[in-house]
């Protein structure tokens, strides 16, 4: 039986990404609260780090994990040809028809080997948003060393606004992403090593049953 599970390096990159995002968002919100650019502070229970210095340390520690992991994910995807195979072709007509199916709760999940057009757009948009988040983060962290990035973002304060909205986009994506995982829990097995073990066992059992005398 052919398994739809993701390659191990995708699983590793995906879960490192989810872990580092959790730390970066929590510590980022604590840093935001120290000087709220939009006036209002966020509830303390959403934040991580205890105090500003602690939050900055968490943020930078997770940043290295996030950036190195993102580079490995993108690098492997390009070098192995998976990026093209999994995310291309991407047709507007497919996107609109999948969107139409989604709002009527008729989007098919029969074949987990291929992403539908909505998944392709959503996952590719995560790569774009993460790139914007890293670039705006660099502009906030080292505005003097990265004047080009700071200029592209507008100015220092605007870099913070861009950084915030890139984070917000990723958080909203994650909420929609988790909703889809709850609605189609089979996809989770393909992202877990335990899922592999289970489907391998299932497939063995099925094959075993086929050979059993009736």
Nearest Cα to 200, choosing from 15, 8, 3?
3
Distance separating alpha carbons of residues 118 and 8, to the nearest angstrom: 24
Q: Any contact of residue 9 with ligand HEM (CB under 6 A)?
A: no
Distance separating alpha carbons of residues 133 and 152, to the nearest angstrom: 13
Q: Per DSSP, which regions of 54-147 are E strands? A: none
Q: Which of residues 150-209 bind ligand HEM (CB under 6 A)?
A: 170, 173-174, 177-178, 181, 187-188, 190-191
- Residue 86 CB, shortest distance to ligand HEM, in Å, is 6
For the record, the structure tokens of 47 come out as 């934040």
Q: Any contact of residue 80 with ligand HEM (CB under 6 A)?
A: no
The residue (of 146 and 177) whose beta carbon lies closer to ligand HEM is 177
Q: Which of residues 84-103 bind ligand HEM (CB under 6 A)?
A: 86
Given a contact cutoff of 8 angstroms between Cβ atoms, the answer to whether 139 and 31 are in contact is: no
**Residues within the interface to ligand HEM (CB under 6 A):** 10, 14, 17-18, 21, 86, 112, 123, 126, 170, 173-174, 177-178, 181, 187-188, 190-191
């Amino acid at each position: 039986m052919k398994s739809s599970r993701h390659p191990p390096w995708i699983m590793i990159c995906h879960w490192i990404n989810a872990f580092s995002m959790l730390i970066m968002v929590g510590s980022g919100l604590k840093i935001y609260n120290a000087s709220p650019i939009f006036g209002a502070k966020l509830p303390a229970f959403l934040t991580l780090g205890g105090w500003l210095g602690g939050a900055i340390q968490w943020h930078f520690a997770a940043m290295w994990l996030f950036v190195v992991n993102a580079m490995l994910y993108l690098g492997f995807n390009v070098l192995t040809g998976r990026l093209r195979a999994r995310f291309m072709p991407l047709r507007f007509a497919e996107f609109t028809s999948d969107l139409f199916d989604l709002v009527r709760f008729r989007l098919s999940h029969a074949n987990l080997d291929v992403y539908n057009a909505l998944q392709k757009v959503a996952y590719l948009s995560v790569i774009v948003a993460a790139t914007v988040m890293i670039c705006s983060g660099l502009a906030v962290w080292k505005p003097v060393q990265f004047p080009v990035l700071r200029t592209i973002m507008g100015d220092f304060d605007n870099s913070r606004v861009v950084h915030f909205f890139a984070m917000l986009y990723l958080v909203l994506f994650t909420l929609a992403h988790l909703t889809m995982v709850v609605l189609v829990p089979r996809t989770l097995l393909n992202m877990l090593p335990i899922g592999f073990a289970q489907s391998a066992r299932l497939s063995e059992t099925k094959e075993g049953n086929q050979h059993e005398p009736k």
